[in-house]
Amino acid sequence: MPPKKKDSAAVVPSTMKELKDTLWKAADKLRGSMDASQYKDVILGLVFLKYVSDAFTERREQITAELTAEGMSPEQIATFVNDMDEYTGSGVFWIPITARWDYLAQNAKGRPSQDSQAAQTIGELIDDAMDLIMGSNRALLGTLPRLFNRDNVDQRRLGELMDLFNSARFTGQGATRARDVLGEVYEYFLGKFASAEGKRGGEFYTPPGVVQVLVEVLEPHQGRVYDPCCGSGGMFVQTEKFLEGHDRDRTAISVFGQENNERTWRMAKMNLAIHGLNANLGTIWGDTFARDLHPDVQMDYVLANPPFNIKDWARAENDPRWKFGVPPAGNANYAWIQHIISKLAPGGSAGVVMANGSMSSNSGGEGDIRAQLVEADLVSCMIALPTQLFRSTAIPVCTWFFAKDKTAGPKGSVDRTGQVLFIDARELGHMVDRAERALSNEDIARIASTFHAWRGTPSAASAGLVYDDVAGFCKSATLAEIKASDYALTPGRYVGAAEVADDGEPVEEKIARLSAQLLEQFAESARLEKVVRGQLERVHG
């Protein structure tokens, strides 16, 4: 008798890795005639639909259990479980009956015609479900994708994918845990799509390690958090994780953002909804330079990874944001920097990912703008990051940190007026594959703790950290030293070379010994060359 085939739909993944891998393999079945961006929208939309429905079902079961324990009758319970406020008041989206996952899963092969109703494909049912959910939840209006019934979406494979997703339950350990699980799956998929799309993937995805550097250095614990080019919302999600990791109230922050790409804007809205973050991303997508959607709002923290070296951007020479000089038409780097500084509240701080060229470029007046930023004492810290952190670009990157106030106060007990911290982190990180490097938690902690020790922040004080310059890694430089270097902000100029341990051998003796070894190797190389030549002559003789 041949062995029975395993029913993959019946296998429930037991670990997070298994869950993510199972869902990705299943999702990959739909790849084919769709372009990468549409495929991404279909899969992420389906994951989102599964999550909101599971969260709704879990809340419904919770209400039923609580009211049953109180001795209520089934009729009374039915009134409460169908009350929309019982869900929305707990941060759960209201899901109409025909938009719920169970209903869709039952009709994964399509719904046959019934009475006066025409037959519908699973794609039509999902599109209708998206409409119903958006109509019932104002926060999701105009957000969810409606492309599941297009000609290039294989309805049979879509139904198979529904079956497999049906075996994966994102809830069961409380609402917060449900968000965490789906949030991880969503972020995992974002990373996979970014890798698959190469350079275009960088438009919506910043590697988690880079985002963590910004968040761990800035420590945004309360107030307004802003990203002027928010992509899929990774900066905000990491901020939420920071708050939860430090037992801080996640409602203590208000999130503001803007995104120019329609699809990416929708993706961000879904991502933030999954994480329970009420973000103001504007009523529509839009170009931050052409129209700031939050013109009168001052921000306590700005975290951003703007697109590098944009040549075609909405430039107006009389823009009031160009307080330190008009950015060149051929590069928007210093336009992003000045926009971000213009958004900071009096005690605000910012972290920005930039191409390395921004630290030393003098073209188009950039050197003059940088000099003015330094002289205004706005630059707080410069970090040179390792190469290959971004799969989407080979351009080496750095992070700029700005602070409106570097005096001793709530954000640090050490007065750093007139100083800039330089960190050369280019040697940190490890290769995860042949194309991509990642920063470990230890790498990120080393960078962040160096900054906090320098600034004397409460977190540094509680850990007993005291700052010292470390040759080859970090240096606190004065504005006079920076001016002497023509206002270049490349950390390597300031930190110097790492100290080499003294092995006790006098320099002259070491040079003589190494020279002798080198001459011996030259001689051996010449001998081997003769042997090889002799063998070749014998072969061809």
Chain segment 372-421, per-residue pLDDT in tens? 999 999 999 999 999 999 876 778 899 999 999 999 999 999 999 999 99
DSSP-assigned states of every residue in 479-510: HHHHHHTTT---THHHH-PPPPPP-S--HHHH
pLDDT at 50: 87
pTM of this prediction? 0.82
Q: Where do we find the tokens 């040549």?
A: 311
Please give the share of the chain, as a percent, with pLDDT higher than 70.
89
Let me know: does 57 contact 94? Beta carbons within 8 Å: no
DSSP-assigned states of every residue in 48-86: HHHHHHHHHHHHHHHHHHHHHHTT--HHHHHHHHT-THH
Let me know: does 255 contact 280? Beta carbons within 8 Å: yes
pLDDT tops 80 at residue 172:
no
Q: How far out from the chain centre does Cα 303 lie?
A: 11
pLDDT tops 90 at residue 479:
yes
Let me know: does 54 contact 169? Beta carbons within 8 Å: yes
pLDDT tops 90 at residue 36:
no
Position with higher pLDDT, 161 vs 327: 327
What is Dmax (Cα atoms) for the chain? Answer: 104
| Range of weakest confidence among 67-81, 213-227, 374-388, 479-493 | 67-81
**What CATH number labels 204-495?**
3.40.50.150
Q: Which of 253, 184, 181, 241 is nearest to 211 (CA)?
A: 241
Query: What one-character DSSP code corresponds to residue 114?
Result: B
pLDDT tens digits, one per residue of 148-169: 999 888 898 888 888 877 766 6
* Inter-CA distances, 254 with 297, 402, 406, Å: 11, 20, 24
pLDDT tops 90 at residue 189:
no
Residue 40 neighbours by CB under 8 Å, 6+ apart? 189, 193, 197, 267
At the fourth CATH level, which superfamily is domain 8-188?
N6 adenine-specific DNA methyltransferase, N-terminal domain (1.20.1260.30)
Give the start-to-end residue ranges of the domains of the chain. 8-188, 204-495, 503-531
Determine the 3-state secondary structure of 443 from DSSP. Answer: helix
Let me know: does 401 contact 415? Beta carbons within 8 Å: no
